[in-house]
Amino acid sequence: MPDVGRQLGRVFDRLWRTFDPDVLSGLEDLAAPLADWPAMDMAEDENAVNIRVDLPGIDPDEIDIQVSGNVLTVSGVRQDEWSDNDRGVRVRERVVGRFTRTVTLPPYVDPQRIEASYDRGTLTITIPKIAGQSPRRVQVSSAQASDGSRGQGAAQGQTATAGQTAAPARGASQAPGGARP
């Protein structure tokens, strides 16, 4: 009688060799819209961080906003307007049920002064910035050696600034994809 374990091993090896992991990636696309429900935007200006959440059909009294440390949580429930037993329902695309969205707030906002308003299905949350605490932009400069000479690439009269890369020194070759051998 042949060794059953060896035969099973060969079958599984053959399955794994022909298995296409991209087949499962389509399942993520199905769940993605629900994972980010309700839709939310976050932006900031010089005075505050602003968050807008789409919550049409939800009573503002049913929206719960909590802050714990630097984490803001918006949660609530959208009630089902039709029961599953209703006849005549042809399409059901609107999401119903409980939702929770969580955002990590930057350290330069004042969570004690959060304001929230609800207008035409959009929840707007405004978190004022703390004066003098906003992030500052740091200028990137080219490195200079203490003897006044520049680094490699700069010796050939080339410098790199933010968002750019220095070209290779003369005589240096590059492999495909920009990597040096």
| pTM score | 0.57
Q: Is residue 11 part of a domain?
A: yes
Q: Is residue 154 part of a domain?
A: no
Q: Is residue 76 part of a domain?
A: yes
Q: Is residue 59 part of a domain?
A: yes
For residue 130, count CB atoms less than 10 angstroms from its CB and return exposed for 0-12, middle for 13-18, buried for 19 or more. Answer: middle
Residue ranges of the chain whose pLDDT lies below 70? 1-2, 19-35, 83-87, 145-181
pLDDT at residue 16 in the model: 72
State pLDDT tens for residues 57-109.
Answer: 899 999 999 999 999 999 999 887 776 666 677 777 788 889 999 999 999 99
pLDDT at residue 172 in the model: 43
pLDDT at residue 24 in the model: 58
Cα dist. 28→18, 31, 104 in Å?
21, 5, 24
Q: Is residue 73 part of a domain?
A: yes
Domain extent for 71:
4-81+92-128
CA pair distance 36, 18, nearest whole angstrom: 33
Q: How many domains does the chain have?
A: 1
Read off the CATH number of the domain in which 55 is found: 2.60.40.790
Q: Is residue 60 part of a domain?
A: yes
Among 141, 139, 142, 113, which Cα is nearest to 125's? 113
CA pair distance 149, 142, nearest whole angstrom: 12
